[in-house]
Structure 1
Amino acid sequence: MQVFTDLSQVPEGFGPSVVTIGNFDGVHRGHQAVLGRIVELARAGGRAAVAVTFDPHPAVVHRPDSAPELLTGLDDRLELLAATGLDAVLVVEYTLDFAAQTPEEFVTRWLVEGLAARTVVVGHDVRFGKDNSGTLATMVELGGAHGFEVVAVDDVGECVPPSGTGRQRWSSSAVRALLAEGDVAQAADVLGRPHRVRGTVVHGDARGRELGFPTANLGGITGMVPADGVYAGRLLRPALAAAEPDHPDTRLPAAISIGTNPTFDGVERRVEAYVLDRDDLELYDEEVVLELVERLRPTLRFDGIEPLVAQMHDDVARARTILG
């Protein structure tokens, strides 16, 4: 998949294309269904399948104090978008100047002239252009003027929100609510895969090693960190996988702790992973990805090291069973 971060990077003669627009945070199953439809349309017409997305998220620009926590960083978003079969993604730097474009300016410059769109796929509730003044009707009108077809798609799928009251469509907001409750299993059902966070392994207090459970502590984390607790999951090593795809240590079962270590009066919230039954890994300064499969328990405060270690043994045993 080609990734463009500016229209100047789009090759001359690119297209014609089938284009969609969105933030695609999390690239959940609803996104995947729509993107799959775009790829089908593109293949049927011999065209390029393209998604236009934004970085940073528009909410970060317009309301930074109340913007939602993002499910995925840009690297993971692009990796997930590539898995849908898209031919290209245009990552637009979202700024106030960009947001000030009229709907026609946006469509003309970015979709028609930039990507040679012949089909534009959008949701029924699409909004674009200055003050979100562009609607589905606007897009259809502009399509008539510029020679592209508009395909409107319905929301796909439903899930049960944490409140358990009623059902709601698959959405990034639904996943955020589930992760805030620590329900990574239900979040995975909406995402179509385990939720991930990415970071670089940094030095910690080495307390885990002293207790017999050496952990990889993550810094510079991207991706929404779920509620405090202990989780069964996996540690992935992208660089090793790229260099040696068949290496057995590219994907490792792990028990993952999120929280402040209250037994030791900790105040800093940390994300750390113990790779099951391994004390020989050297991961410092390596970028890793953690997949969170199932929550084992909430964070607890123990009356001393012995009950803590006993619980850690139990956590590891349960994680081993869950992960197979």
Structure 2
Amino acid sequence: MVIGNFDGVHTGHVEVLRHAQSLAPDQPVVVVTFWPHPMHVLRPEQAPRLLTGLADRISLLKRAGAQQVRVVQFTRDVSTWSPEEFVSRVITPLDPSHVVVGENFRFGYRAAGTVETLRELGKERFAVEAIALVRVDGESTCSTLVRTALDAGDVELAAKHLGRLFRVQGVVVMGDQRGRELGFPTANLPVPAGMAVPADGVYAGWLTRLDDPAAEPLPAAISVGSNPTFQGLERRVETYVLDRTDLELYGVEIAVDFVARLRGQITFTGIEGLITQMDADVARTREVLARATKG
């Protein structure tokens, strides 16, 4: 059994699952996670923006080696469980041989339970393994670090710690149609409440339609923001697939993967300046993605 919140399913989370697999290769790995995020229940005003929704989290955990994912519905009642009650309600019914957690794992009322508490409670029933935090370029990987990188627009740093490109996905909605009028039709995704996205600006990346299992990622220039040139208010992810004006994506679920930030968001005084900049963004996107593909 592996227990954790697993927001983002980053390289540290993947390492915990790998270690669990190595302990008992002939046994299934069962992951226990929590939804919603405990902070969304206990202190919603301080709750972090999530890197992945629940469905994506489960999919990523299974891709990382989980045979089963058990979701504990986190409520105020659950938050009052003592460490002993947590073990009896969550761990004991699944009868694990090993329980694997990160070295900073805490559980039970007011996070009173530590790894040592878990070992004590598991004596003669299950072994407990605590895995050290993964470090990338000298920095400990954690979901908070990934969020901070996205807030700064550093999608490359986020990708290093995630072990993959940061992704936003959703169903394409109708926008203002201005991109189409300017020769740069975009697929528009509203920014979901409570979900993390990179800082406002323009990025190079890929768009993949998810309604076709055989669909290939398409090179794209991506804008995140509220479109200040046209006094926009709603924050969106707007994606222009290079050299494609024939795509019909309304109502289609897509994934947008971020490779690198090109610039911050700019307010233009006229359409001409905007089009000139968009041409430059497309040219720069080609360069970035050509390097990324060769790399």
TM-score by length of 2: 0.94
Deviation at 1:256, TM superposition (A): 0.5
Output the CA distance in 1 between the equivalents of 2:23 and 2:112.
28
Output the CA distance in 1 between the equivalents of 2:227 and 2:191.
19
Q: Structure 1, residues 163-216: CA drift from partner, whole Å, max 9, x if none?
A: xxxx53111111111100001011111111110111211011100000000001
Is structure 2 residue 106 aligned with structure 1 residue 127? yes
Is structure 2 residue 289 aligned with structure 1 residue 306? no
Output the CA distance in 2 between the equivalents of 1:220 and 1:176.
15
Query: Which residue, out of 157, 168, 188, partners 1:217?
Result: 188
Query: Which residue, out of 153, 157, 172, partners 1:182?
Result: 153
Q: Structure 1, residues 42-81: CA drift from partner, whole Å, max 9, x if none?
A: 31xx211111111100111111001111111112211211
SS in 1 for 2:288: helix
Output the CA distance in 1 between the equivalents of 2:42 and 2:254.
31
| Contact kept in structure 2, 1:70 and 1:224, CA below 8 Å | yes
Deviation at 1:142, TM superposition (A): 1.1
| Contact kept in structure 2, 1:128 and 1:135, CA below 8 Å | yes
Output the CA distance in 2 between the equivalents of 1:317 and 1:311.
10
User: What is aligned with 1:86?
Assistant: 66
User: What is aligned with 1:288?
Assistant: 254
Output the CA distance in 2 between the equivalents of 1:155 and 1:27.
13
User: What is aligned with 1:153?
Assistant: 131
Q: Structure 1, residues 238-292: CA drift from partner, whole Å, max 9, x if none?
A: 2212xxx2xxx44211110011212222222221100111111111111111101
Unaligned runs of at least 5 residues, structure 1: 1-18, 160-166
User: What is aligned with 2:293?
Assistant: none
Which amino acid in 2 is paired with 1:103? P
| Contact kept in structure 1, 2:7 and 2:143, CA below 8 Å | yes
SS in 2 for 1:277: coil
Deviation at 1:220, TM superposition (A): 6.1
Output the CA distance in 2 between the equivalents of 1:221 and 1:39.
34
Deviation at 1:132, TM superposition (A): 1.4
Paired residues in the alignment total 289
Unaligned runs of at least 5 residues, structure 2: 291-295
Query: Which residue, out of 249, 253, 275, partners 2:241?
Result: 275
Identity fraction in percent: 53
| Contact kept in structure 2, 1:233 and 1:255, CA below 8 Å | yes
Which amino acid in 1 is paired with 2:22? E
SS in 1 for 2:211: helix
Which amino acid in 1 is paired with 2:102? G
User: What is aligned with 1:26?
Assistant: 8
Output the CA distance in 1 between the equivalents of 2:219 and 2:77.
46
Output the CA distance in 1 between the equivalents of 2:145 and 2:217.
28
Output the CA distance in 2 between the equivalents of 1:124 and 1:226.
29
Output the CA distance in 1 between the equivalents of 2:80 and 2:253.
37
Is structure 2 residue 38 aligned with structure 1 residue 58? yes
Output the CA distance in 2 between the equivalents of 1:289 and 1:75.
14
Q: Structure 1, residues 102-147: CA drift from partner, whole Å, max 9, x if none?
A: 212221222121x2211011233321112212112211111115x1
User: What is aligned with 2:51?
Assistant: 71
